[in-house]
Amino acid sequence: MILRQMRRNAIRIEGEHSAALERARGRLVLLGMVFALAYAVIAVRVFDLAVLQGDVPRMEGEVVAADEGLQEKEQVASIRRGDIYDRNGELLATTLKAASLYADPALILEPQKVTQRLARIFPDLDQAQTLKDLEGARRFAWIRRGITPDQQQEILALGEPGLGFEYEDTRIYPQGALATHLVGYADRDGNGLAGVERSYQDVLATGNDLHLTLDLRLQHALRRELGAAVQEFQAIGAAGVILDAQTGEVLAGVSLPDFDINKAGSATDEQEFSRLTLGVYELGSMFKIFSTAALLETVNGSLGQTFDATKPIRIGRFSINDYHAQKRVLTVPEVFMYSSNIGAALMGKTVGTEKLRAFYRDLGLIDPLKFDVREIGSPEVPHPWREASTLTASYGHGISTTPLQLASAAASVVNGGFLVQPKLVAQQDNSGEPEKKVRVISQENSEKMRALWRLVVTQGTAKNADVPGYDIGGKTGTAEKVGARGGYDRKRLISSFVGAFPMNDPKYVVMIMVDEPKGNKKTYGYATAGWVAAPVMAKVVTSMASILGIPADAYDPAKDIVYNLDRYIHDPKHKKGKTLVSYHE
């Protein structure tokens, strides 16, 4: 009985036991499936990494860097920055892959020896610092960024396993300092920081090339002659521009001092400053171009109109004097030729404040210039503009502009009367409608202005600007800088000249400005525009003529437009009918 009971119990428990085991086996299958699934996911993930994403190259700072994959990745990651060319297709800026040398100190067994060998390749290497880096515990140290292929070859020849290369896009400016302030520069990461590199960042960064209106040959000539003037007159700086008189294209633009844009990091503030577009100067007598034009254009003035320059004009405690005082009544050409401040002030008075200001505004002398670089200075105009301001602004006092701005306005006056908008970047689309021309003065008045410009060179203050055979005209301007204590400083001058040629139908407008020149023996101690800036003009035009192939025989002295003015010149020393009358400052 007991035995039967026991057997029954045993069977029951056996049954329970089997059921538990059955369930356990089911759970084992579940466990196995979970693991199988998880491992399958890992396997798929490895497939994803190794095959689908396979051979993706390493990131910066890694030991193996120079494999092909790296370069592919970088090309995908960053579009190569566009090149910059001049109008003839000469390269101004390009982007090259340059190697940068680094060391993995852990793989360098003899730091001393390696340092010595590196110093042989890079003579300017800081040996103490390099040795310290190579003996250090870090796994990465830059030796030199952006090395040349030759240097890289020499490094490879060392066979040192601890030295490696990273390849980076490097901006190269083959022309160095030639067009510093207009081209500008970009940083290592391809961000434009100045010039068209900055203002055309979007275009360049998307891989598009940029064609400038510059002509490197003219650029070189202008820079050379300005540099020579700075040297000769121990000036603190200079600026100059050559414009196409009709289109406003900047053929050359220079600001000195400049610097090699390949080494932008070491440029001083003085070097970085663009006197051409950012500097704002009182440019003095050159403004007589605009007050004279205003007289002719806005109040129908005639060349025969006279202005009494016998004595200075007094305004309050100031007086307006003439530098080349004639102490008589002057016609308009005489005012222009002798650069009479009194005459110009009286012309301005005749025009009237409103009209003069409006005319200046039309010429773009009041508002900041619109240009293809962003380093643009805002003009300083009298504020408030009183009657006295009109008088002084007529001969360029109390009003400051950038040299480029003045050159553009001057070009507008002599090119037939159409407003000149200077541009640096060649028109990309030829499809667009022809540019709208804005007339600022009449053709007739423009021709009168041309004759006046020519007169200044033949008989006026800018005889030194003349080049026989090239029909040059222009206007000088000598202004005293504002001194430290207010008022003008007689010793610190801005000597400038704006000119054009050929004067019967100007094709080129050239502006020269020399900042704080000092007179020398050759100039009898003078540092005025006629002695400093005008000769630069002559040299620049001489170079331009040979570069551009402009023949000298196109000019017929007998038909010189200056003869149109003969009847307005009443100077006793002036012999009528002779163009090249000697005249002394």
Which candidate in 199, 274, 285, 340 is catalytic? 285
| Minimal distance, residue 415 CB to another protein, in Å | 59
**Is the separation of the CB atoms in 196 and 424 below 8 Å?**
yes
What is the spatial distance between Cα 82 and Cα 335, in angstroms, rounded to a whole number?
51
> With respect to another protein, which residue has the nearer C-beta, 61 or 174?
61
> With respect to another protein, which residue has the nearer C-beta, 10 or 482?
10
| Minimal distance, residue 144 CB to another protein, in Å | 23
Beta pairing class for 84-85 and 210-211: parallel
What is the spatial distance between Cα 563 and Cα 503, in angstroms, rounded to a whole number?
13
329 strand-pairing partners: 308
- Residue 271 host element (H or E): helix 269-272
Tokens of 310: 């016998």
> With respect to another protein, which residue has the nearer C-beta, 32 or 525?
32
Written as one letter, the residue type at 139 is R
Q: Look-up: residue for tokens 């370069």?
A: 71
Is cis: bond before 379, omega within 30 of 0? no
| Minimal distance, residue 136 CB to another protein, in Å | 15
394 noted as active-site residue: no
> With respect to another protein, which residue has the nearer C-beta, 28 or 554?
28
Q: Look-up: residue for tokens 């408030």?
A: 384
Alpha helix locations (H) across 48-88? 68-77
Q: Where are the beta strands (DSSP E) in 231-302?
A: 237-244, 250-256
Length of the chain equals 585
What is the spatial distance between Cα 527 and Cα 520, in angstroms, rounded to a whole number?
8
Tokens of 456: 């200044």
> With respect to another protein, which residue has the nearer C-beta, 13 or 548?
13
What is the spatial distance between Cα 186 and Cα 172, in angstroms, rounded to a whole number?
10
**Is the separation of the CB atoms in 311 and 319 below 8 Å?**
no
| Minimal distance, residue 15 CB to another protein, in Å | 10
| Minimal distance, residue 34 CB to another protein, in Å | 9
CA-based max dimension of the chain: 163
| Minimal distance, residue 111 CB to another protein, in Å | 17
| Minimal distance, residue 418 CB to another protein, in Å | 57
DSSP 82: P
DSSP 563: G
- Give the residues lining the site for another protein (CB under 8 A): 6-7, 9-10, 13-14, 17, 20-21, 23-25, 27-32, 35-36, 38-39, 41-43, 45-47, 49-51, 53-59, 62-64, 106
510 strand-pairing partners: 242, 499
> With respect to another protein, which residue has the nearer C-beta, 163 or 254?
163
> With respect to another protein, which residue has the nearer C-beta, 39 or 318?
39
Residues labelled as active-site residues? 285
